[in-house]
Structure formats: C-alpha cells, structure tokens
Amino acid sequence: MKVLIIGGAGMIGRKLAERLATDGALDGKAISSLTLYDVVEGAVPPGAKMQVKLLTGDLPADGEARRMIADRPDVIFHLAAIVSGEAEQDFDKGYRINLDGTRNLLEAVRHAGHKPRFVFASSIAVFGAPFPNEIGDEFFNTPLTSYGTQKNICELLVSDYSRKGFVDGISIRLPTICVRPGKPNKAASGFFSNIMREPLAGQEAVLPVSETVTHWHASPRAAVGFMVHAATMDLDKVGPRRALTMPGRAVTVGEQIAALKRVAGDKVVARIRREPDPFIEKIVAGWPSRFAADRALALGFKPDASFEEIIRIHIEDELGGRVA
C-alpha cells in the first residue's frame, strides 16, 4: 500500500506519519511507501520500515498535483492549509492554497483514474452563527470566515468527486487541536493551545478573549486517530454525505484554566496574562462551541475522555512527563 500525506511537515502530518511508521500498515495492509509532501521538507519518522519519500513544492502550482500523485497512492491524507487567521487576513493566499490547491489535487486524481481513499481535513469553521446550544449533524453550513468558506467548498468537492467515482473520499471536521506542540502559529484559535503549552513549559502566555468563551477541542493524539479511522472505515456506511463533524470536548476558557490548575498547579496557571484582542474576539465570536457528533460516534470515531486527559497527553507526548 502506498500512502501520501499532504502537509506532512505540519504538526498533525508529522504525528500521523509517526503513527503509520509505528503501525506499518493500514486496514491490515502493509505500507510499502510513505510520501510526505509540504512547502518545507518533512522528516523521516523514527523507526520507519517502509520507504519514505520527502517532497517539497507549491501545491496549487501548475503540474504540482500530478507530480505528487505520480506513483498512484492508495490513500491520500490532505492536511495542508493556510490557517484561519492568515486566510482571513490574506484573501488571495487563502483561496489559492485552501481551494485551488485542493481542486487541482482532486483533478489530478480524477485524470489518473485510480480512485484512492481521500481523507480531507476540514474544520468546524464551516459553521456560522447564530448557533443552537448544541450543533447536531443536520445543522446547515453558513461559514462566516474566508477559511470556513474555503473548507466548506472543499467538502462539497470531495463529496461530488466521490459521488462520481473519482475518489473514495471523506471530509472530517476537526475540532480545534489542543494542546498543539511547537511554536504559536497564525491560527486565530492558537491561543487555546498557547495558554496551556507555554505555562507548562515555564513561559508566559497571553489570553486574548474572555474566560467565558466556549470551544470544541481534541488532542493531537485523538486527531491522528480520526485520520486513521477515516482511512480504514467502510465509507458505504457513511452514505452520500461525505462530511462528518468529529467528536470533541466542549469547555470554556475558564474550564481549560481550571483543568490546567488541577493537573499542574497554581504556579503554572499564574503564567497566563489577560490581554484582550478585538480582532481575535470578533473571529472567535463567529465560531460554534458545542456539538452532538452522533454520526461520527456511531461510526466509531473516539474522542478524548476529558480536557484533563488532553493536558496529560501533551505532558506525556511533548514534555517527557514533566512540567516546568
């Protein structure tokens, strides 16, 4: 089996590659080749026993998608995107990467004619206010950001290309991934991780919104589990609506901080500094906060047990089990 991860140098892409290298197989089939593609070169996962190719390039460029799928991968994970805050600030760049890149990729697969499993990383940003208290699977998509609009269009493309038999695709709407390792990025949602990650590492973090803000979260470990399950499940059970909201944990920022205190203590929580940011507050106000992801749960997708577990996963996976 040949696997391609687009966005293979990103956080989820790296962790997915590590999981696949460890497992050595998908759906009981040995992985013979793993290709990691991104704008910067990725890294060969530790212990990888299959052939690993590292490719770099500009996804929307002419001919790039055809080059990427030249060896006809059996499974494609499409994780690459311009994140929410940057897509909102740079309209042209967001549409070029998030929409044009995805369309070019689907077109390349269509003309190659081999119908791979296609797992697209979408987002809960496809939904827009006003929201009910809990968003169910029948709630309509009315995104209020450019990023959400781009993801919504791509979901429709994945469903249509699947309906026509060009790919066997599924879009999974990821919760906000928390706690993200590494450095802060330009995502408007980045502070949800920042106020956990930096204090746990002994550094100050800025909280730009009210503690009453509620949001939907999943750990990186859970996100990788979603990806693997989406790549191996029976999509006939999903039906023609090939987009699913992933299960997560809804907590307020205040509840995040309380969980951090229970796990790591007062000293760590004291490193959070309140500094309101109207730009971030406006974006976050248009986001959904709580879901009833019944379809995904019935289809076997598994969430984190609690927000405390999300914090402990970060401490275990990124900090060697120790807090600064």
Q: What is the pLDDT along the chain (324 residues), one digit of tens a residue?
A: 999 999 999 999 999 999 999 999 999 999 999 999 999 999 999 999 899 999 999 999 999 999 999 999 999 999 999 988 899 999 999 999 999 999 999 999 999 999 999 999 999 999 988 899 899 999 999 998 999 999 999 999 999 999 999 999 999 999 999 999 988 777 788 999 999 999 999 999 999 999 999 999 999 999 999 999 999 999 999 999 999 999 999 999 999 999 999 999 999 999 999 999 998 998 888 778 899 999 999 999 999 999 999 999 999 999 999 998
Catalytic annotation, residues: 147
CA-based radius of gyration for the chain: 19
Q: What is the dihedral of CA 137, 138, 139, 142, to 10 degrees?
A: 100
Residue type, 294: D
Q: Do the Cβ atoms of 3 and 34 come closer than 8 Å?
A: yes
Q: What are phi and psi of 181, to 5 degrees?
A: -75, 170
The CATH number assigned to the domain with range 2-177+217-245 reads 3.40.50.720
Angle at 60 between CA 58 and CA 63, to 5 degrees: 85
Q: Do the Cβ atoms of 188 and 280 come closer than 8 Å?
A: yes
- Please give the CATH architecture assigned to the domain spanning 190-216+249-288+305-318: Alpha-Beta Complex (3.90)
Sheet containing 249-252: which strands, arranged edge to edge? 176-177, 214-218, 249-252
Q: Do the Cβ atoms of 142 and 126 come closer than 8 Å?
A: no
Whole-angstrom Cα distance, residue 220 to residue 225? Answer: 9
- Which DSSP letter does residue 217 get? E
Strands 272-274 and 29-30: unpaired
Whole-angstrom Cα distance, residue 9 to residue 80? Answer: 9
Query: How far apart, in Å, do the first and last CA atoms of the chain sit?
Result: 42
What residue ranges do the domains of the chain occupy? 2-177+217-245, 190-216+249-288+305-318
pLDDT of residue 142: 93
pLDDT of residue 74: 98
The DSSP element (H or E) to which 19 belongs, if any, is helix 11-23
Which ranges in 214-306 belong to alpha helices (H)?
Answer: 220-232, 253-264, 266-269, 278-285, 294-298
pLDDT of residue 93: 97
Contacts of 255 (CB under 8 A, 6+ apart): 307
